[in-house]
Structure 1
Amino acid sequence: MSETVWHPTKEYIESTRLYQWMNKLGYSDYDTFFNKTVEDVAWFWHEAEKELEIPWYEPYTKSLNDANGIEWPIWFEEGTLNASHLSIGKWAEDPSMKDKKALVWEGEDGAVRTFTYIEMQEEVDRVAGGFRKLGLKKGDVVGIYMPMLPETVIAMMAASKIGAVFAPVFSGYGAEAVATRLNAGEAKALITADGFLRRGKTVMMKEEADRAADLSPTVEKVIVISRLNADTPWNDERDVDWQEMRNSEKYEQTERMDSQEPLMLLYTSGTTGKPKGAVHTHSGFPIKAAFDAGIGMDVKREDVLFWYTDMGWMMGPFLVYGGLVNGATILLYEGTPDFPNPDRIWELVAKHNVSHLGISPTLIRSLMTQGDEWVNKHSLDTLRVVGSTGEPWNPEPWMWLFQNVGKKQIPIFNYSGGTEIAGGILGNVLVRPIGPITFNSPLPGMAADVFDPTGKPVENEVGELVIKKPWVGMTKGFWGDSERYLNTYWSRFEQTWVHGDWVIKDTEGQWTITGRSDDILNVAGKRLGPAEVESVLVGHEAVKEAGTIGIPDEVKGEAAICFAVLNQSQEPSEALKKELLSLVAEKLGKALKPKNLYFVSDLPKTRNAKVMRRAIKAAYLGLETGDLSALENPQVLREIEQVKENVNL
């Protein structure tokens, strides 16, 4: 068990939204309250939506109807609402909130645009009118292939206002990856930009969008936002200028949507096969995201929430709904967080008075090598909570963030869930102490547990992360593929969601994710999470990043192979390789010593900085790689393919 290092004072605990809400419901002890939230999930989510002040057009008759089984719950039965109204419209109608900042955008070039809630509503109404003029209607799917721009959020809100379903796609995808998702959803329109800025260079999008549309027979219109004022190819029959479209007559009516009607399709890559389209509803994703941000992370009205992400990843929509439903300001940033200097992200926090910052462990591992002085240049006085998601932590970067950025005062809200969850399963609630790299509780309402291979709960050993009750935000299946949804999550243990993460829950209630369960190693009968090996390696001063995979071994069944990215000043050598392998053996035991270690220039990562271990494994073993469309740097796989043959590595 790791020792806790952040300890909330009594005054701090009592100031949180979570504590005040618990108290209102008659609870002063968190554990007692949490147990109630998972024993009676219908009661819990009823109380949660009330606390979030969700505006219903017609009230629901029952918070949960599970007559169709745990796999297909109906939440807020017969209630009607609209995600656009509960995010923007509600506040635009409130005299005390309509002129507050809803969205602030900063471009990589330093340009800033700000929208109040009433200004956002004006834009949404204009774009909704434009959508309708183009023939878009309730139930149509609209692809959003956009950088992080204000128009990205406006498009999402305008689509949901008229009852259309939006499908955000990662802005770094190539045409074929975009088309795969457009075809899966049978999208009628695609919204894109001419391009955006990244590391001081222009990244053109329109050409990729055109190719994607050419490959997607159902796409009738491509709506283009001019970010760069660049000359782009134009198809008069298919292309629509955003600015001209928004000059249409405003559409002020909001479609009243059943709570279970689809709002958004979020595509997630599988290890094999086509991407899975997680279906999220008007009541599901917004309420779960808003709860986790507002009650979990303590986001309050007029706070500033900034998560460094992309709208094609789950944390993009999380940022939107987690912030706006709570009446906060959301900050969108176009570029990279360390350009033109390593302090860009801290500069953004200081400049825009960010209260809640979301980052990934990989980003912190990269920034800590640049030195503390870049952080110390900026006053981070407004920062109250740092959120972290995407991958397991190593202790050293976690402590660097805690000590050097947070000055040992700011809690790190480790947060893990997924695209299909609409938010988190595990987190760090702010009424309990927090330790490095761990989670101090499942989120309220999430009936999480750890199962061994036979389906029995275990403590103090690695097992499968499971969820035993339904929750608001749970994907309503996969778009057009119910069987795959059931096979993916519900086929292992009866009436139990198997999430695909390996975790350890200790007797003190601390949870640690050790990696994906399809990444876990079984070395001579001993389970080994890749993150455990990687933590040892990055703890060495020479190593910047590390990745670990398991390969077949005649003697042990499986053996660990490691890949290390060295710090700039460090040269690879046989002596260093032996030293690192010995260090792992010393820290984890000789039986778990890796079979080999290779030095590489980089690890394959997605745009949101997740290391794709399955891609490393496929390249190393010469296997079929599966869907690699989420990879930002596929060229590194060639290097991994060659390392076994190159004696210099």
Structure 2
Amino acid sequence: MNRPVWVPQTEQMKKTRLYQLMKKLGIEDYDSFYRESIRNIAWFWDEVVKDMKLNWIAPYRQVLDMKDGIAWPRWFKGGKINVAENCLDRFVKDPSARHRLALIWEGDNGESHKYSYRELWVEVNRIAGGLTELGVGPGDRVAIFLPMIAENVIAMLAVARIGAIFIPCFSGYGAEAVTARIQGCQAKWLITADGFLRRGKVVKMKEEADRAADLSPSIQKVIVVRRLGRKCPWNGERDVEWDQLRTSVKTVAPYPTSSGDPFMIIYTSGTTGKPKGTVHVHAGFPVKAAFDAGYMFDVGAGDVLFWVTDMGWMMGPWMVFGSLIMGSTMVVYEGTPDYPAPDRLWEMVENYGVTHLGVSPTLTRALMRLGNQWTEKRDLSSLRVFGSTGEPWNPEPWHWLFEQVGKNKVPIFNYSGGTETSGGILGNHFFKPIFPCGFAGPIPGMDAEVFDDSGRPVRDQVGELVLRQPWVGMTSGFWQDDKRYEKTYWNRWPNVWLHGDWVYIDQQNQWFITGRSDDTLKIAGKRLGPAEMESVLVNHPLVAEAATIGVPDSEKGESAVCFVVLKGKECEGLEEELVEFVAKHMGKALRPKRVWTLEELPKTRNGKILRRVIRASYLGEEVGDLSSLENKAAVEVIRSLARNAN
């Protein structure tokens, strides 16, 4: 039987913000609290926003209105609120909070800058004023194509402050991907930089931004941050210096946006079709992000949150709004976690006293391969929680993070949701024991279940992760594409959100994600999540990473084909040895058809392995949108392998 490796202490629980909320509501048992949170979701979210002490420009008259159906709820109806005010102004007005650190930025080259809440508020007001003078108004769309620099956070808050809508774009995108997002919402303004540093090398950005602007007739102005001060092309009629906007010295009052007004459109990439523009509103995404950060991870004043991510991914804005609404400090880092030395990430934890560190399983595997000596030379005693999201875990890197880095004391809070949910559906927390690679269960307010093919709840077998009620933070559809939104999430079972994750709940009521349901294999009638076979492969002493796909098979219906990255050089006969290694541990019926060795797996910069891209490449099918892919050369290698195999 699987056993927990971390058990919360009573005194530890009682210090958390979530416990204080439960106590205030007269509930001391977590399970009872969760049941109440989904029994009356309007009551629950009403109590949450009251406990957060959010500033409402005008109070809401009704917590939840579902007259348009479960797919289109209206939260905090009648209320007016501005996310930028709730991130900054309410702390700036408090003498005890205004000089607290809000943002720490560190560049790839080691330079850094710190902003107090007041200093960040001043910068946001300057840019908000500059944008207003440039003609940006409520409801206008502003694309933000910036590296991980402080100006990225400032731009997001400034755009939201004046009632406009920002579109965060991954810093590694090429012009075509940025163009798709600009054109998708007809953005009129593009904020970019001359470039940034990555592993000591200059990454040009202005040139890509120019190409995107040239391809987008809606763009009126391109605003340029001089991150590097490098010479780059300049269009005198279109380009505007960021510092020119900073000359505005007036204080800009937060625009009184309605609770359901959009402040952000964040696009998600798929393997088919155009990217989906998920719409997030002022009293949606920020509230969900803040609840998960502040009540589940227990991030608060005095804490330092550092999630290794990009603002183009959901966890970037999540970190911004979750940390600021909770009055804590965020770390924004331009570079890579292992440059210029393998202990760069651990050095930052030590230097800034990071309390909450967010990583992905892929990043953990990469750091683990570098050796234990790099963690041992750093003081990591400030760490209180590891956060993990992006993909399922394999046991070996999970245990390495918990045992070697956290010394069996720092819990790993698995956290899984998505761009469309504004945060987590499943998670760990301070109220339940933690089992390796698992989740304690659904987060309060999230009425989650696992369904079989007939739409019935199941235990101890793999099924579809669903949600049976709406929640604060649920995307308000896709930008100008309501039918696609309804077809994507609400089309399989009536009034049930189909999330797309393949999940099972074991006999100890632990939840495990085995992968995306459209990545699932069905071999000789047996459903198999790719993570199951991948976990076996990475237990082989020579395998560092693995990805598994299903391919058509005339006898079994589908067979597994695996791709592995090795810890060292390949030895003769290894691929056949790995096939038998899987068969030995999983049964002969599940023996892979083939195991291929690669130098790298196709993945995004934030560590997601793109199995659907691997499968499409291997089968010679259309791979779809590759804009989030960091290493496109890996796709060509897989295509070449497939050609040679056939």
Which whole-Å deviations, capped at 9, do the CAs of 1:591-616 have from their partners, x for residues lacking one? 11111101111100111110001111
Which whole-Å deviations, capped at 9, do the CAs of 1:146-170 have from their partners, x for residues lacking one? 1111111111111011100000000
Per the TM alignment, residue 17 of structure 1 is displaced from its structure 2 partner at its CA by: 1.5
Partner of 2:612: 614
Q: How does 1:567-582 map to 2 (within 5 A)?
A: 567=567, 569-574=568-573, 576-582=574-580
Q: How does 1:316-355 map to 2 (within 5 A)?
A: 316-355=316-355
Counterpart residue identity of residue 596, structure 1: R
Please give the alpha-carbon distance, in whole angstroms, between the structure 1 residues aligned to 2:439 and 2:547: 22
Which whole-Å deviations, capped at 9, do the CAs of 1:419-467 have from their partners, x for residues lacking one? 0000000000211100111100111100000001111110000000000
Which whole-Å deviations, capped at 9, do the CAs of 1:238-277 have from their partners, x for residues lacking one? 0000001110242421101100000100100122111000
Q: How does 1:285-434 map to 2 (within 5 A)?
A: 285-434=285-434
Please give the alpha-carbon distance, in whole angstroms, between the structure 2 residues aligned to 1:341 and 1:541: 25
Counterpart residue identity of residue 207, structure 2: E
Distance 1:637 1:572, change over 3 A: farther
Partner of 1:440: 440
Preserved CA contact (<8 Å) 1:162 1:255: yes
Partner of 2:41: 41
Partner of 1:471: 471
Preserved CA contact (<8 Å) 1:394 1:531: yes
Preserved CA contact (<8 Å) 2:267 2:276: yes
Per the TM alignment, residue 572 of structure 1 is displaced from its structure 2 partner at its CA by: 3.9
Counterpart residue identity of residue 29, structure 1: D
Counterpart residue identity of residue 379, structure 2: S
Which whole-Å deviations, capped at 9, do the CAs of 1:478-508 have from their partners, x for residues lacking one? 0000000000000001100000000001232
Partner of 1:176: 176
Please give the alpha-carbon distance, in whole angstroms, between the structure 2 residues aligned to 1:9 and 1:244: 53
Per the TM alignment, residue 179 of structure 1 is displaced from its structure 2 partner at its CA by: 0.2
Partner of 1:625: 623
Query: Counterpart of 1:166 in 2: which secondary structure?
Result: strand
Please give the alpha-carbon distance, in whole angstroms, between the structure 2 residues aligned to 1:251 and 1:13: 41
**Residues 1:124 and 2:124 are matched in the alignment:** yes
Q: TM-score, normalised by structure 1?
A: 0.98
Per the TM alignment, residue 20 of structure 1 is displaced from its structure 2 partner at its CA by: 2.1
Corresponding pairs, count: 646
Unaligned runs of 5+ in 2: none
Counterpart residue identity of residue 360, structure 1: S
Preserved CA contact (<8 Å) 1:386 1:412: yes
Partner of 1:486: 486
Query: Counterpart of 1:624 in 2: which secondary structure?
Result: coil
Partner of 2:57: 57
Query: Counterpart of 1:273 in 2: which secondary structure?
Result: coil
Counterpart residue identity of residue 332, structure 1: V
Partner of 2:596: 598
Query: Counterpart of 1:345 in 2: which secondary structure?
Result: helix
Q: How does 1:77-116 map to 2 (within 5 A)?
A: 77-116=77-116
Please give the alpha-carbon distance, in whole angstroms, between the structure 2 residues aligned to 1:497 and 1:507: 25
Partner of 1:200: 200
Please give the alpha-carbon distance, in whole angstroms, between the structure 1 residues aligned to 2:3 and 2:202: 46
Query: Counterpart of 1:549 in 2: which secondary structure?
Result: strand
Preserved CA contact (<8 Å) 1:57 1:80: yes
Counterpart residue identity of residue 474, structure 1: M
Please give the alpha-carbon distance, in whole angstroms, between the structure 2 residues aligned to 1:542 and 1:250: 61
Which stretch of the first structure deviates more once superposed, 608-617 or 578-587?
578-587
Partner of 1:190: 190
Per the TM alignment, residue 4 of structure 1 is displaced from its structure 2 partner at its CA by: 1.0
Counterpart residue identity of residue 573, structure 1: E
Please give the alpha-carbon distance, in whole angstroms, between the structure 1 residues aligned to 2:202 and 2:166: 26
Which whole-Å deviations, capped at 9, do the CAs of 1:342-396 have from their partners, x for residues lacking one? 1111001000010100001001101111111100110011110000000000001
Preserved CA contact (<8 Å) 1:127 1:250: no
Distance 1:221 1:572, change over 3 A: farther
Partner of 1:252: 252
Partner of 2:528: 528
Counterpart residue identity of residue 58, structure 2: E
Per the TM alignment, residue 232 of structure 1 is displaced from its structure 2 partner at its CA by: 0.8
Counterpart residue identity of residue 622, structure 1: G
Please give the alpha-carbon distance, in whole angstroms, between the structure 2 residues aligned to 1:240 and 1:564: 47
Counterpart residue identity of residue 289, structure 2: A
Preserved CA contact (<8 Å) 2:142 2:167: yes
Which whole-Å deviations, capped at 9, do the CAs of 1:262-294 have from their partners, x for residues lacking one? 010010012211100000000001000000000
Preserved CA contact (<8 Å) 1:572 1:599: no
Per the TM alignment, residue 9 of structure 1 is displaced from its structure 2 partner at its CA by: 1.2
Please give the alpha-carbon distance, in whole angstroms, between the structure 1 residues aligned to 2:452 and 2:181: 35
Preserved CA contact (<8 Å) 2:271 2:613: no
Per the TM alignment, residue 408 of structure 1 is displaced from its structure 2 partner at its CA by: 0.3
Preserved CA contact (<8 Å) 1:58 1:81: yes
Preserved CA contact (<8 Å) 2:301 2:327: yes
> Which of residues 625, 635, 638 in structure 1 aligns to 2:636?
638
Query: Counterpart of 1:316 in 2: which secondary structure?
Result: helix
Which whole-Å deviations, capped at 9, do the CAs of 1:315-346 have from their partners, x for residues lacking one? 00001011000000110000000111111110
Please give the alpha-carbon distance, in whole angstroms, between the structure 2 residues aligned to 1:166 and 1:77: 23
Per the TM alignment, residue 582 of structure 1 is displaced from its structure 2 partner at its CA by: 1.6
Please give the alpha-carbon distance, in whole angstroms, between the structure 1 residues aligned to 2:218 and 2:249: 26
Please give the alpha-carbon distance, in whole angstroms, between the structure 1 residues aligned to 2:45 and 2:582: 45
Which whole-Å deviations, capped at 9, do the CAs of 1:499-531 have from their partners, x for residues lacking one? 000000123221000000000000011000000
Query: Counterpart of 2:519 in 1: which secondary structure?
Result: coil
Per the TM alignment, residue 645 of structure 1 is displaced from its structure 2 partner at its CA by: 5.0
**Taking every aligned residue pair, what percent have the same amino acid on both sides?**
56
Q: TM-score, normalised by structure 2?
A: 0.99
Please give the alpha-carbon distance, in whole angstroms, between the structure 1 residues aligned to 2:621 and 2:255: 49
Which stretch of the first structure deviates more once superposed, 636-645 or 50-59?
636-645
Preserved CA contact (<8 Å) 1:193 1:206: yes
Counterpart residue identity of residue 151, structure 2: E
Please give the alpha-carbon distance, in whole angstroms, between the structure 2 residues aligned to 1:158 and 1:41: 32
Query: Counterpart of 1:75 in 2: which secondary structure?
Result: strand
Alignment RMSD (CA, Å): 1.1
Counterpart residue identity of residue 628, structure 2: A
Please give the alpha-carbon distance, in whole angstroms, between the structure 1 residues aligned to 2:251 and 2:212: 29
Unaligned runs of 5+ in 1: none
Please give the alpha-carbon distance, in whole angstroms, between the structure 1 residues aligned to 2:437 and 2:99: 39
Counterpart residue identity of residue 584, structure 2: E
Partner of 1:138: 138
Please give the alpha-carbon distance, in whole angstroms, between the structure 2 residues aligned to 1:275 and 1:438: 30
Please give the alpha-carbon distance, in whole angstroms, between the structure 1 residues aligned to 2:32 and 2:619: 49
Per the TM alignment, residue 584 of structure 1 is displaced from its structure 2 partner at its CA by: 1.2
Please give the alpha-carbon distance, in whole angstroms, between the structure 1 residues aligned to 2:161 and 2:18: 31
Please give the alpha-carbon distance, in whole angstroms, between the structure 2 residues aligned to 1:398 and 1:264: 33
Please give the alpha-carbon distance, in whole angstroms, between the structure 1 residues aligned to 2:253 and 2:571: 64
Which stretch of the first structure deviates more once superposed, 244-253 or 506-515?
244-253
Counterpart residue identity of residue 153, structure 2: V
Please give the alpha-carbon distance, in whole angstroms, between the structure 1 residues aligned to 2:24 and 2:441: 21
Counterpart residue identity of residue 416, structure 1: S
Please give the alpha-carbon distance, in whole angstroms, between the structure 2 residues aligned to 1:341 and 1:532: 33
Per the TM alignment, residue 562 of structure 1 is displaced from its structure 2 partner at its CA by: 0.2
Partner of 1:557: 557
Please give the alpha-carbon distance, in whole angstroms, between the structure 2 residues aligned to 1:270 and 1:251: 41
